[in-house]
Amino acid sequence: MAEKCTSNSSIYVVMVPLPAQGHLNQLLHLSRLVSSYNIPVHYVGTTAHIQQAKIRAHGFDPLTITNIHFHEFQTPPFETALPNPNASNKFPNHLMPSFYATFHLHEPVCALVRELLSKNHKKVVCYSFNSTSTFMTNSFLWEFKGKPLLPGTELYEDIPSILDCFPTEFWEFLTIQEQFDGKISCGELYNSSRVIESLYLDLMAKEYDGLNQWAIGPFNPLEPNATSKDSNKRHDSLHWLDKQEQNSVIFVSFGTTTSLSNEEVKEVAIGLEKSEQKFIWVLRDADKGDVFTSEVRKVQLPKGYEERIKERGIIVRDWAPQLEILAHSSTVGFMSHCGWKSCMENMSMGVPIAAWPMHSDQPRNSQLVTNYLKIGLIVRPWTRQDELVTSEMIENAVKTLMDSTDGDEMRKRAADLSNAIKKSVKNDGINRAEMDSFIAHISH
């Protein structure tokens, strides 16, 4: 939301993210972009989630966010259960208590807004941020309204029904949130670009005729701030990448909301080993509601595995700087769950993707990446979601992505898309124009 007065120099922006890493990260990067226009940004959340956002921020110089003010608010204690790696549905139900805890932010956030309004401000204007692809938002809406597929959108049959994407508990949470959204929102913001999904942005503009919308992504830096190779602040994975040949490593990570079962871990391990390709594998469970609580599962690998693969692969068991890994010249592929933040980062850096969607918006995002943009492949069709992803599937996906003619073509398209994205954010680019338009809108 933006607090406005008649003077263009007296605007305050308040960011209120959902307390999940993808949302915390995207809105922190958006805060950085807004603050670059010399507009103060107030970023709010629970104490634990503000600290999480700060600690995991990477890819930019911290000195560039001095105009961002963090507000840490206390909430009553909430359950921080461990994720269940054996659950039949990969949705992180264990995070729901932390989502509901955000309802306790209502009063402190309102108090902050009242304080800002007292500084000669005249009104509050609210905007909704869409943390997923425009294609996902559009296809959800189409299904809700029972509309037929339009020309150019028929390719996406391998996606679940909207009702199967989220558990009942999340729908209930979303229903409470949406009671207010439609009544107060003055516009829609997307971490996306016309370079990526102009078709679906146009469809959404027609659907919400008269409602402002801006595609102002990517939010993440397109040239991540490089930490000195000699710095002890640099993650070990980046030191390892420095020693590898250019375009020789696949990065394997399934995000902060997915936990693999022991059986799945074994199949991934064997598949990566059989592929005979170099890799970085982030092997960790989904985040808990409070990532600073100490209890975590130690995922077991096959006996002797890390010794066998030490010459061409590393296992990372903590949080990893994904954006910087994807931007590294040695990284040539990405096996991913297709969360939207990850998709935007891999497209920004021109890295093709082996898509293994797990839940929520991810199946739809994977179809956008593989069928529409054609910069990746599917590890396992969603219609076979109840089947175990075998080591053979992993091996084949990695080899195809990294060592085949099809993989070469995907890499070329990914590189072309990355170049187009980077061009779009320059001073005369379409995304820069969209961002300027949004800033002008909140400034008038």
Residue 230: pLDDT above 80?
no
Predicted confidence at residue 129, as pLDDT, reads 92
* Band of residue 154 on the pLDDT scale cut at 50, 70, 90: low
The mean per-residue pLDDT over the stretch 68-95 comes to: 92
Distance separating alpha carbons of residues 415 and 396, to the nearest angstrom = 22
List b or e across 114-147, with b for residues whose CB sees 16 or more CB atoms inside 10 angstroms: eebbeeebeebeebbbbbbbbbbbbbeebeeeee
Strand pairing report for 68-73 and 376-378? unpaired
Q: Is the pLDDT of residue 209 over 80?
A: yes
Q: Which amino acid is at 147?
A: K
> Is the pLDDT score of 180 beyond 70?
no
Can you give the pLDDT at residue 4? Answer: 42
Three-class secondary structure assignment of 326-389? HHCCCEEEEEECCCHHHHHHHHHHCCCEEECCCCCCHHHHHHHHHHHCCCEEECCCHHHCCCCC
For residue 40, which of 17, 9, 76 has the smallest C-alpha distance?
Answer: 9
pLDDT digits (tens, 9 = 90+) for 40-55: 999 999 999 999 999 9
C-alpha distances (whole Å) from 38 to each of 10, 174, 239, 419 are 10, 33, 35, 28
Quick one: pLDDT at residue 161? 81
pLDDT tier at 255 (50, 70, 90 boundaries)? very high
State whether residue 136 is helix, strand or coil.
Answer: helix
Nearest CA among 420, 332, 338, 414 for reference residue 135: 338
CB neighbour list of residue 270: distance below 8 Å, 6 or more residues apart? 302, 391, 394
Distance CA 268, CA 393 (A): 9
Residues 28-46 have a mean pLDDT of 95
Contact 375, 352 (CB under 8 A): yes
CB distance 253 to 322 below 8 Å: yes
Record the pTM.
0.93
Which carries the bigger pLDDT value, residue 437 or residue 444?
A: 437
Domain 13-220+424-443 matches domain 231-422 at the CATH topology level: yes
Is pLDDT of 159 > 80?
no
Mean pLDDT for all residues in the chain: 90
Over residues 421-436, the mean pLDDT reads 94
Distance CA 418, CA 2 (A): 31
Q: What is the mean pLDDT of residues 197-219?
A: 91
Given this structure, which CATH class describes domain 13-220+424-443? alpha beta
The superfamily in CATH containing domain 231-422 is Glycogen Phosphorylase B; (3.40.50.2000)
Sheet holding 212-215, edge to edge: 68-73, 41-46, 12-15, 2-4, 123-130, 185-190, 212-215
pLDDT of residue 149 exceeding 80: no
Beta strand 2-4 pairing with 12-15 = antiparallel
Coil/strand/helix, residue 277: coil
pLDDT for 264 beyond 70: yes
Q: Considering only residues 289 and 210, tell me which one the structure prediction assigns the higher pLDDT.
A: 289
- The yes-or-no verdict on residue 269 having pLDDT over 90 is yes
User: For 239-257, b where at least 16 C-beta lie within 10 A, e where not — what string?
Assistant: ebbeebeeebbbbbbbbbb
The arithmetic mean of pLDDT across residues 74-92, rounded, is 91
Model confidence at 7: pLDDT above 50: no
Report helix, strand or coil for 89.
coil
Every domain of the chain and the residues it spans: 13-220+424-443, 231-422
What pLDDT is stored for residue 3 in this prediction? 46
User: What is the pLDDT, as a whole number, of residue 61?
Assistant: 78
Question: How does pLDDT run across 118-141, given as a tens digit for each residue?
Answer: 887 677 889 989 999 999 988 888
408 confidence band (pLDDT: 50, 70, 90)? very high
Alpha helices per DSSP H over 233-277 = 236-242, 262-275
